[in-house]
Amino acid sequence: MFGTIRKHQTWLWVVIIVVIIISFVVYFSPYSKINESRGPLQLGSINGEPVSEDVYTRAQREMYLQYFLRSGRWPDEDARQRGFDLERETYQWLLLTQKVRSMGIDPSPEAIETQARQLLRPFEQMGVKSPVTFFNEVLRPRGLMPEDFERFVRNYLGLQEMISVIGASGKLVAPTEIQALYERENQAVATSAVFFSASNYLAGVSVTPEALTQFYSNRLAVYRIPERLQINYVTFPFSNFLAKAETSITNLNELVDMNFTQLGTNTLQGAKTPEETKAVIRQELLRREALLEARKAASDFARPLFDKEKIELGDLEKLAKEKGLECRVTAPFTREDGPAELEGGQELVKAAFLLTPEDPVARPQITEDGVGIISFNSKVPSEIPPLDQIRSRVEQDYRFSQALNQARQAGIAFQRTLTNSLAQGKTFSQVVEEAKVTAVDLPPFALSTRTLPEAEQHLNLNQVKEMAFSIKPGQASSFQFSAEGGAVLFVKSNLPIDTARMQAEMPNFASFVRRTRQEEAFNHWFRREAEKGLRDTPLARPEPPPSMQSAPATKAKS
């Protein structure tokens, strides 16, 4: 069984990815090798202790493990976009482990073994039944060794103990303070809102040629069409490789069952029955394998281009013609929109706009339907279209702008009238009736409320909370602007705390408060230590050396 899984090691982690990221993400590892030979590195020192290359590399490997154990996937080319900076993480880890040693913290072998088994437990459902299997089937294909895992566990345990010691003061939160915090977060209010929407004022807006021309002239920058690009492209749809994918995944049914078991009671989009869920999983597994085959085919096709000393404009079209493939041209597109004919997200758009007549071909690009090879065709300069060409759009914008202004003026006037009338002893209902506006009673909500659809159709939930909890019962908020107009909120009353619910939730809430305070205390300490301890490392330099972005110094299997 494990020989087959090792052959298709990428698929071993589909189980984790399916559960954590239901919208399946294509996984292509950029780490075909981990740091090859290089010259001496200037790694600096931490609190006066020089950082050797061996120590730095070991810490890097631990950061790879931490990322994988935390997210269920290895760092890929998008990891930095998700906030993973290998150099920063490595130096911070080195500082923390140095502090652990200085405090004399040394976890026992028994504690290390227990923690290691806890970290491996989630993999048991995928057939990783023993540490030996984990080391052979998970670590070694990535160039990592058992000693890397053991060292990581030891340092992880030491760090947890250090956090507990340094953050101990954060745990000292009085029960009365915890209860006050709970009540503040869960004190619900009864409110009414009056919404002022531009859509209610559109009918009253008249458009004159003079006003429209002036409006257009004042907003020329808004109507400017940015620079656009046209590219040539040759595609390799994954659908052309589905048949080959079905024969290459020899343990497909087993992988489908493993994914289905891991999902438990969860369902996938579009699937209503277990059979349909399995069909979706099967389709996605085949799609991933087909994408791998498509990328290989695209790379094989483009290899003659990249083997050339200099790629010329038109080379992609010539090669496609030689190979009997169609080379198409996109319509002009912007950085924001991307090409309608070749959906590949911002990565493809970014690669396209880096193309030039001197460097006209990009590496294979993953698209929604497969893999594409793209090349430069032409650029269309930025321009401002004349009014007659976009008159309908400008008129629509003008009408909305005028209606929006009217809605806001009406809202401001109502808020002023409401505030004065309440001070004179009138009720909210009386003022609403006299002003001939519509009030909406919102469901009770608190600071801890996560959603309030009745209000969120008009305002951001945080705006609503700010309006409600900055005034007392019986008062009206100021007029709050929104994209569609704005709103005024009236707080009718504070609702009583549900004591039975509070008693049931208090233990978990108290633990959350103490844990949060503990983390805050530790983070405050760490910021001060990092400012001192990392000042002589590349993190403090304006331009970190490129080699700092590489991975641990061991070759890994693709």
Domain match, 480 and 533 both:
no
Mean pLDDT computed over 462-482? 96
Position 510 in a domain: no
Position 116 in a domain: yes
Q: What is the pLDDT of residues 487-505, one digit of tens each?
A: 999 999 999 999 999 999 9
Asked if residue 529 has pLDDT above 90, the reply is yes
Position 7 in a domain: no
| pLDDT: which is higher, 347 or 78 | 347
Position 180 in a domain: no
Position 245 in a domain: yes
Predicted confidence at residue 544, as pLDDT, reads 42
Asked if residue 522 has pLDDT above 70, the reply is yes
Position 1 in a domain: no
Nearest to 233 by CA among 375, 361, 379: 375
What span, in angstroms and rounded, lies between the C-alpha atoms of 255 and 432?
Answer: 62
Length of the chain: 558
- Contact criterion met (CB below 8 Å) for 467 and 491: no
Confidence of residue 24 (pLDDT cuts 50, 70, 90): very low
Q: What is the pLDDT of residues 327-343, one digit of tens each?
A: 999 999 999 889 989 88
Per the rule left: phi > 0, alpha: psi between -120 and 50, beta: everything else, 70 is alpha
Q: What is the pLDDT of residues 97-126, one digit of tens each?
A: 999 999 999 999 999 999 988 888 877 766
Domain match, 143 and 232 both:
no
- State the total domains in the chain: 3
Domain match, 418 and 522 both:
no
Average pLDDT, the chain: 84
Domain match, 117 and 208 both:
no
Domain match, 439 and 415 both:
yes
What span, in angstroms and rounded, lies between the C-alpha atoms of 450 and 512?
Answer: 17
Predicted confidence at residue 5, as pLDDT, reads 30
Please report the DSSP string for 301-331 in residue order.
HHHHHHTSSSPPTTHHHHHHHHHT---EEPP
Predicted confidence at residue 268, as pLDDT, reads 53
Domain end: 339, 362, 380, which one?
Answer: 380
Residue 82, token pair as written in the block? 């998700």
Predicted confidence at residue 251, as pLDDT, reads 78
| pLDDT: which is higher, 277 or 463 | 463
* CATH code assigned at 453: 3.10.50
Domain match, 110 and 242 both:
no
Predicted confidence at residue 417, as pLDDT, reads 97
Q: What is the pLDDT of residues 250-278, one digit of tens each?
A: 777 778 777 777 665 555 555 567 788 88
Domain match, 539 and 487 both:
no
Domain match, 332 and 229 both:
yes
Predicted confidence at residue 291, as pLDDT, reads 87
Asked if residue 463 has pLDDT above 90, the reply is yes
Position 298 in a domain: yes
Confidence of residue 248 (pLDDT cuts 50, 70, 90): confident
Mean pLDDT computed over 1-16? 30
Domain match, 372 and 231 both:
yes
Predicted confidence at residue 552, as pLDDT, reads 41
Domain match, 474 and 527 both:
no
Residue 499, token pair as written in the block? 């004591």
Domain end: 330, 355, 380, which one?
Answer: 380
Domain match, 44 and 135 both:
yes
Confidence of residue 539 (pLDDT cuts 50, 70, 90): confident
Range of the domain at 408: 188-220+389-494
Position 506 in a domain: no
For residue 70, how far is the Cα from the chain centroid? 15
Burial of 480 (0-12, 13-18, 19+ CB in 10 A): buried
* CATH code assigned at 533: 1.10.4030
Domain match, 372 and 402 both:
no
